[in-house]
Amino acid sequence: MLSLVIILLIVTIVIICRWYLSYVHSSLYWCWDNGNEEKRIFIDTDNISFPENFLWGTAAASYQCEGPGDKVPVASNWSQWEPAGIKHGQRCGMAVDHYHRYKEDTQLMRTLGCNAYRFSLAWDKIEPIEGQYDKDILAHYHDELKELHRQSIIPMITFHHFVHPLWFEQRSAFLNSSNIETFVRFVIDMFREFEDECHMWCTINEPEVYVSGGYFNGVFPPGHKSQANEASLVLQHLLQAHVEIYDNIKKIARQPEQHSIGIVKDIFQFDPWNPLNPLDIYASRILDHGMNGCILDFFRTGSLKWTMPGSIHRTYVNLRAPYTNDFIGLNYYSHFLIRFNLFKQPPFEILHRQDDSGSSLMTDMPYALYPEGLYRACVRLKNELPRIPIYITENGIADRYDDRRHLFLRRYLYALSRAINEAHCDIRGYFYWSLIDNFEWAEGYHMKFGLYHVDLQTQERTLRDGAKYFQYVIQKHREKYEKKNL
Ligand code: BGC
């Protein structure tokens, strides 16, 4: 009798576990057209639509694409970090000389059909010596903005995209709370300078990536490793700076209601490798909270709680925070699967799916193709920060052979459309990363994210075949509304 009960119990547990696994699986992974699961519906990726005034753009950061311009290269945290911190000892150098070629590049945006462009101001070039702004560089950005307007491209400016002047780095950058006001002062001055030419502003690009690269993994300057205390402080100071920037701009703007200001948050989900293993679940939750949850909580509640089990618990409260985003910029690339492993330091591994489904296809970066994650990230923002519009401020694929870009765009744009139409997320635009191949930080020039391939010797740009789907979607979108409005 007892053995019968035990057998029944085991069978029940197995059934429940299998049911749970298939439930988790189907909520994490969609059945794409190469799927093999009978019960789920195959996806028609042509079935997409976007709101009429949707912004279609590309995104870039000054350091990654501009090159030094007309002057000798100025010193920044990144120029100092090279080449030792870059794969194969590469240097950013001329990059793709966007500084001189912005007119031609704006024309490339038009060729794609884009109507928006996100780029960052090079603080290192603008203020190479503390307190002295370089008038030529400011004039250059005025010219670039003028050209964007001339070609009907709406600009979105980022104030901090990983790079700042060396003098700021030498004073410990955002690790030192007294430097916050220096950055805020720079931002206010830039806002005053450009407020007539730009109405969309991103304060800080991916604070948690800047923090983890610089103070955890050591792959970004200043290259510190596993410094939980520093990392949590830097994160706090960046968020503090964001709030101050928002409040200051709204105070000084001539027409505050005309200006939209937001932070750019990257959401890389951390999912458990084995959804039945409590240790995998625990490790993935800790990581997700440290990289995503704590920042979203801060903007929902005003309270930042950053925890590293067994070492740091940092709390910072700023009740203004929930009112300081007119939009959220969402950067989305992929997700990670986390497996707890006591023999590793830190005690987990990052893995990727290994099966024959589309979601286990890898990009050249160690990221899986995971459009479902873009949908999940949009829904998460909608739930956790309700009523704040979203722009997809970055999404793109490193694809040297251009053999996955078409599929990437097809599926991610489908996921985006589904987030808008099925989950009713208020998404106002999509910026592909990036217009042209560029300097991919610690990875150097090996990662080819561009819709346009560039020959670094001749600087010639060529549209990639895989990118044509982007052009096609934008064109269809325009035609649809043109017909409707006839
Ligand atoms: C950054 C970009 C970077 C891209 C691709 C984002 O985290 O904002 O600067 O090039 O990812 O790795």
Q: Would the pLDDT of 35 be above 60?
A: no
Cβ(205) to ligand 1 under 6 A?
Answer: yes
Read off the pLDDT of each residue in 159-173 and give the average, rounded to a whole number. 98
- In the chain, the largest separation of any two C-alpha atoms, in whole Å, equals 89
Tokens of 336: 């990670």
Tell me the per-residue pLDDT of 218-243, one tens digit each, with 9 for 90 and over: 999 999 999 999 999 999 999 999 99
Cis peptide before 83 (omega within 30 of 0): yes
Q: Which fold has domain 54-484?
A: TIM Barrel (3.20.20)
Length of the chain, please? 486
Residue with tokens 């309270």: 303
Nearest CA to ligand 1 atom 3: 440
CB-based contacts of 97: which residues, under 8 Å, 6+ apart?
Answer: 66, 67, 459
Check pocket membership of 158 for ligand 1, CB cut-off 6 A.
no
Tens of pLDDT, residue by residue over 260-285, are 999 999 999 999 999 999 999 999 99
271 lines ligand 1 (CB under 6 A): no
Residue 116 has pLDDT above 90, yes or no: yes
pTM for the whole structure:
0.96
Q: What is the mean pLDDT of residues 403-409?
A: 97
Q: Which residue has the tokens 């010193």?
A: 75
Average pLDDT over residues 368-384: 97
Residue to substitute in 440, 445, 449 for testing ligand 1 pocket (most ligand atoms within 8 angstroms of CB): 440
Helix, strand, or coil here: 306?
strand
- The pLDDT of residue 331 is 98
| Whether residue 433 has its Cβ less than 6 Å from ligand 1 | yes
* Amino acid identity for residue 384 in this structure: E
Q: Could you read off the pLDDT of 424-472 as tens digits, one per residue?
A: 999 999 999 999 999 999 999 999 999 999 999 999 999 999 999 999 9
Q: Three-class SS string for 416-485?
A: HHHHHHCCCCCEEEEEECCCECCCCHHHHHHCCCCCEEECCCCCCEEECHHHHHHHHHHHHHHHHHHHHC
What is the atom index within ligand 1 of the atom nearest the CA of 206?
8
Measure 128 CA to ligand 1 centroid, in angstroms: 24
Q: Which of 86, 120, 433 to mutate to test the pocket of ligand 1 (most atoms within 8 A of CB)?
A: 433
| Residue 440 Cβ contacting ligand 1 at under 6 Å | yes
Q: What pLDDT is attached to residue 37?
A: 55
CA angle at residue 373 from 219 to 412, to 5 degrees?
A: 100
Which is higher by pLDDT, 31 or 111? 111
Catalytic residue chosen out of the listed positions 82, 169, 206, 394: 394
> Which ligand 1 atom sits closest to the C-alpha of 365?
12
Relative to the CA of 443, which ligand 1 atom is closest?
Answer: 12
| Cβ contact 244:180 at 8 Å | yes
Catalytic annotation on 394?
Answer: yes
Chain centre to alpha carbon of residue 375: 14
